[in-house]
Amino acid sequence: MTVSPGAISPAADLSTDLLRDTAIRRITARMIAAPTTRNHKLSNTSVTHQGYILVEVLLENGVIGYGEGSTLGGPRWAEESVEAMKANIDTYLAPALVGQPGCNLEAATLIMDRAAKRNYTAKSAIDMALLDALGKTLNVPAHVLLGGAVRTSIEAIWALASGDAAQEVDEAQAMIQRGWFNRFKIKLGFADPATDLARLGALQKALPSGTMIVADVNQGWSEAECIRYLPELHDLGVSLIEQPIAAGQTEASARIAARSSIPIMMDESVSTLSEAKREVAAATGSVLSLKLCKHGSVHNLKRVAGIAAAGGVQMYGGCLLESSIGAAGHLHVFATLPHLEWGTEQFGPKILVEDLVSDSLRYEDFRVHLPTGPGLGVTPDPEMIDKYARNA
């Protein structure tokens, strides 16, 4: 094959050049504590500062990619904390990857899996940074590397979690007025069920008729409480119930799903492919919340989604209060899913006092819009990152 000057090189040469140019020179991780606009409560913790691990990957071509892993109040929502993520990235994951081709995303995932078990949030942050760096290298948006977007915007869901009914009503109405969110999730499980249901009732009365409401119990109820209170959630017009009992209680979850008139969404119960197979086969839910921090990489998220879809389960784009960095990573993979029936709750950038980027995600017409630039399509703000970085 003859190639004239200035023409594209043969595929073999392109491959060799890409392997060399995208070799990983350095991986660094920083801990971030970004303040939120209000207290965000869950069944087992509350958050006033959101914890992130911010990963920076430098390739041999000089391109820098950024990724983000999020936690909720330390190792309470899952086993990882920002402190543990930094230690494991610095000590095990980064040394295993330095010198490897950053364009080989699947191989990088296998290398990380050999270097450390689980640690899905830390791995997903590195995977996101590699995806960002590769997109910037090739000058294409990240979703192109994942099969291409089938949607450029997604219906957006806002979470209400202060525990103060009046405040939550005001907050929800403000989101509607701004045109940002008109679908809502309300966090339950941190008060007794009667108190939680009273909050939910106040919200339901104040919102326009037919407003979609997701009730997230965050594993806070028992099977007996579900039997007692799920009919009341139906009467209050709840559209979807998220993870009402503890992950791992597969048989009880299946019984709850079978008797519920409202769809049940699996969240904490499904991280791995084997968990997806088990829970889908047991019919513990008819909807699945997808999160990079649970699945470990963009490709693993798509595989989990495929297992669920094969079992007739619908998709929901979950979040863990990511900044625009982590939210953009999620949006790029969510945009490539054949179906995302329940939209996404990637609202994290709007709950931060200050975002970590200079070009925050766009929320308009009750939708969050996919960034269009190369890589993740957002630009980290060094001033904001330095301002909220933690040294210990």
Residues labelled catalytic: 187, 345
Q: What is the distance between the alpha carbons of residues 4 and 189, in angstroms, rounded to a whole number?
A: 67
CB atoms within 10 A of CB 392: 4
Q: What is the distance between the alpha carbons of residues 212 and 262, in angstroms, rounded to a whole number?
A: 12
Return all residues near 49 (Cβ < 8 A) that are at least 6 apart: 33, 34, 35, 36
CB-based contact 296:311 (threshold 8 Å): no
Q: What is the distance between the alpha carbons of residues 292 and 297, in angstroms, rounded to a whole number?
A: 6
Return all residues near 243 (Cβ < 8 A) that are at least 6 apart: 216, 217, 218, 219, 265, 266, 267, 268, 269, 289
CB-based contact 85:122 (threshold 8 Å): yes
Containing 233, the helix (H) or strand (E) segment is helix 223-235
Q: What is the distance between the alpha carbons of residues 42 and 163, in angstroms, rounded to a whole number?
A: 9
Q: Which residue has the tokens 């192109």?
A: 144
The structure tokens listed for 271 are: 């991280």
The structure tokens listed for 231 are: 């009919």
Q: Which residues of 284-293 are buried (b: 16+ CB within 10 A; e: fewer)?
A: bbbbbbbbbb
